[in-house]
Structure 1
Amino acid sequence: MKELRSLQDVQNMEVNSGRKLNSATHEEVLAGATTDIYFIRTLEILNATNRSDAVVTAEVFASRPGVLCGIEEAVQLLKTKDVKVWALEEGEEFAQKEVVLRIKGRYSDFGIYETGILGMLASSSGWATAARRCKELAGDRAVFCFGARHVHPAVAPVMERAAIVGGADGCSCILGAKLAGRKPSGTVPHAVMLIVGDTVEVALAYDRIMPTEDPRIVLVDTFKDEAEETLRVAEALQDKLTGVRLDTPSERGGVRPGLVREIRARLDQAGYNHVKLFVSGGIDEERMPALMEAGTDAFGVGSFISRAPAIDMTMDIKELDGKPIAKRGRIPGITESLRLKEIL
């Protein structure tokens, strides 16, 4: 797709009526089709005033503290341009108002990417920050991101990769895990339990047909009392059972610390000390401490990460043709930042 450089290009741009998804393709993002229209109007004005060769230094800063993510994607938009780029590293924590990215080059070359760059950094950093919070609370307990079902599938892998950058131990979305160089994490849903009709039968089938290296973690809240179902599964799989997953729905009060404590005690009393307790379903930073104290060994976190608010990012021009400049309220000139590293 041709890069958009004028209002005429925008007018001539056609959207295929037969496209199956409304999400932007890689080619559309790279062409500037997801930018705000006023950046195209800016190009028109710069050309009309003979200022298209103006060289600027632009800085991106954050509205609040967080964990940086999205830099790798943002750089992909700039690789074909004659620009220099400095940035914090992916996964680094940043302070409020700290500069996380600096770009120097002709504004007419990279200005149309401002919308995309800010969006990439804002969303991914928000997700990474939420995942970091969960992992900090969990300590040596595992945290897996199960948030793909809460966002549009076009951005699900972006979100789950961001969660891993933030500190999550894994994720369930296949593409998200692959992009992060990980193996997708997860076992089976309630659907297979309902269709087959018995948790133990599903557990035995899982053990029989799944790769031997995959942990045997069985969902135990579909049909019977969770403690009863846990013991049935433990008796069936014995030492092969890695753990059980508790995902009690909100209609029944969700997974409570008392339930975790009871199941842990019953497993230990029956000699199944090796069986781990994996908890999912509405997990957030408020619920995690009590669940850990009760005996939870690992968490599946969904909407707490996927619905995390984006961290607003702002791009300001701070230098024009080598001279300090800024809009009212901002300090002209390049912001001193020893942590930025030249990456392009």
Structure 2
Amino acid sequence: MTIPNAAPETSDAAIAARTDSYFKRTRSVVEKFGDCHVTYAVFLRRPVISAPRLALDFLRTVAENRGTEFSIELPHEEGTWVGAGDPLLYIGGSFALLSELETIVLQKLGPACVAAHNAYQMCLELPNVAFLAMEARHCAGAEMQEMMAYAAAVGSAAAKREGAKGFLGNANDATAHWFGEPAGRGTMPHALIGYAGSTVRAAEMFHATFPDEALTVLVDYFGREVTDGLAVCARFPEIAASGRMAVRLDTHGGRFLEGLDPAESYAVLERHAPSAIRRYRSDTELRHLVGTGVSAAAVWRMREALDEAGYPHVRIVASSGFGVGKCRVMAEARAPIDVVGTGSFIPDAWSETYATADIVEYDGAPRVKIGREFLLRRNGARKKQG
């Protein structure tokens, strides 16, 4: 089937093209032998944070287009924790009109809920650190970009309710609305430093172009994070003193931050967080603590250098692989990070995002395949949404 370019995703043509064929054939059978009212239960096999809005918007739009109504019950409101196997949604309506929608509903629900849980955990591991969502470059197109930004915002809001700073925004305009912002945030990529020929010159160019904006400078391009970071501070002492300057550490995993090696990395943490390295660690945790790239030792060494040079108000932005595990290690090392830039709330194991739907009622009679009885509705355990 060819879908016209102008056809929205909620059109009958788009739905028919993107759904699994057995759902379309189910609709044909049901229309031939008689429709009935069914109730679907939708769940995931792992704990998540409820992030159903994109799926709900899709269902409501399709219902309007088809001149019908779908009842939607949320046992768990958006932003709340949901246990493994616990239904996220109950969807009721015409079997004929609902049967084709399962594929797309699951696509819109599962990944968002897992990503929201990841973002929630990251924020809680570093409750005093602000986060910036930088997931767009890792997304497979605009639809995933929208979904992941929404998920990060939901997870962030849940963490904020528990006292975390959470996400302050994101890096692009299209999805900034999820964070209550008019536009994305950011200053410069590595390419601008390569163009300028030096880190200081790149900072000068940026400041000349955007004189009223805070200045965050990448300092790893030439492998001189400390030297170049201090040089930028010396070039703009007033901005550095005002708290409107930050150095961003994005050192790749193939080398250490300037001046560090394994021995010196251990020495840095011995000075600042000795307990973090005195218990058993996995190889991954050790790498986050004292390894190459943006380690806890690297962050502490940058903070030492800034403070010793008289720049205590210059902030540190850290990026590069800040998932839940790395955030946890940074917290244990009390790494002095001010902002984390990350897209690592995107689910790493995509199989964990697979949502599943089962019909649990036919014309009001409870019925579900053997082994899925846990999906049957419990009295008083649901919240109805229009």
Indicate whether the TM-score tops 0.5: yes
Q: The residue matched to 2:310 in structure 1 has which SS?
A: coil
Partner AA of 1:64 in structure 2: R
Task: Render the CA deviation track for 1:128-174: whole Å, top value 9, x for unaligned.
Answer: 11111111111020122212211212211221221121115122132
The 2-side partners of 1:342 and 1:27 are apart by: 23
Unaligned residue ranges in structure 1 (runs of 5+): 1-12
Q: 2:9 aligns with which of 26, 29, 45?
A: 26
Q: C-alpha distance in 1, partners of 2:141/2:92?
A: 34
The answer to whether 1:324 aligns with 2:307 is no
User: Distance in 2 between the 1:211 and 1:26 partners?
Assistant: 43
* 1:40 aligned residue (15, 20, 24): 24
In structure 2, the residue matched to 1:96 is: 84
Aligned residue type for 1:26: E
Equivalent residue number for residue 145 of structure 2: 156
Matched, 1:173 2:172: yes
Compared CA separation, residues 313 and 224, structure 1 to 2 (3 A): closer
Instruction: Summarize the Cα distance change of 1:305–1:251 in structure 2 as closer, same or farther, 3 Å threshold.
Output: same
Whichever structure has more helix as a proportion of its residues is: 2
Aligned with 2:70 (options 51, 75, 83):
83
Shift of 1:101: 0.6
Alignment match, 1:61 = 43
Alpha-carbon shift at residue 74 of structure 1 (Å) = 2.9
Deviates more, 1:170-179 or 1:109-118: 170-179
What is the alpha-carbon distance in structure 1 between the residues aligned to residue 381 and residue 13 of structure 2?
Answer: 28
**5+ residue gaps, structure 2:** 157-165, 256-291
Letter of the structure 1 residue corresponding to residue 348 of structure 2: R
1:240-251 map, 5 Å: 240=239, 241-251=244-254
Equivalent residue in structure 2 for 1:295, among 336, 344, 361: 336
Query: In structure 1, what is the equivalent of residue 186 of structure 2?
Result: 186
Q: Name the SS for the 1:26 alignment partner.
A: coil
CA pair 65-291 structure 1, distance change in 2 beyond 3 A: closer
Give the letter aligned to residue 195 of structure 2.
I
Give the corresponding residue for 2:299: 260
**2:310 pairs with 268, 271, 274, which one?**
271
> Superposition RMSD on alpha carbons, in Å?
2.4
Of 69-78 and 134-143, more deviation after overlay is shown by 69-78
Q: CA deviation at 1:334?
A: 4.2
Note closer, same or farther for the CA distance 1:285–1:103 as it changes in structure 2 (3 Å cut): closer
Kept in 1: contact 2:54–2:108 (CA 8 A) = no
Is the CA contact 1:282–1:304 (under 8 Å) kept in the aligned structure 2? no
CA distance in 1, matches of 2:20, 2:346: 27
* SS, match of residue 254 in structure 2: helix
Query: CA–CA distance in 2 between the matches of 1:302 and 1:332?
Result: 34
Deviations 1:152-208, CA, capped at 9 Å, x for gaps: 122112212211211151221321223443231222100010011111122122223
Measure, in 1, the Cα distance between the counterparts of 2:374 and 2:20. Answer: 25
The one-letter code sitting in structure 2 at the alignment partner of 1:48 is K
Cα deviation, residue 286, structure 1: 2.7
The whole-number CA distance in structure 2 between the counterparts of 1:127 and 1:332 is 25
SS in 2 for 1:174: coil
The answer to whether the Cα contact below 8 Å between 1:220 and 1:244 also exists between their aligned partners in 2 is: yes
SS of the aligned residue for 1:317 comes to: strand
Q: Give me the identity figure in percent.
A: 30
Aligned residues of 2:71 and 2:92 also touching (Cα < 8 A): yes
The number of equivalent residue pairs is 324
Which TM-score applies when normalising by structure 1?
0.86
Amino acid at match of 1:244: V
Deviation at 1:287, TM superposition (A): 2.5
* Structure 2 counterpart SS, 1:286: helix
Evaluate the alpha carbon distance shift between residue 190 and residue 306 of structure 1 in structure 2; reply closer, same or farther with a 3 A threshold. Answer: farther
Structure 2 length normalisation: TM-score?
0.77
Cα distance in 1 for partners of 2:46, 2:328 equals 25
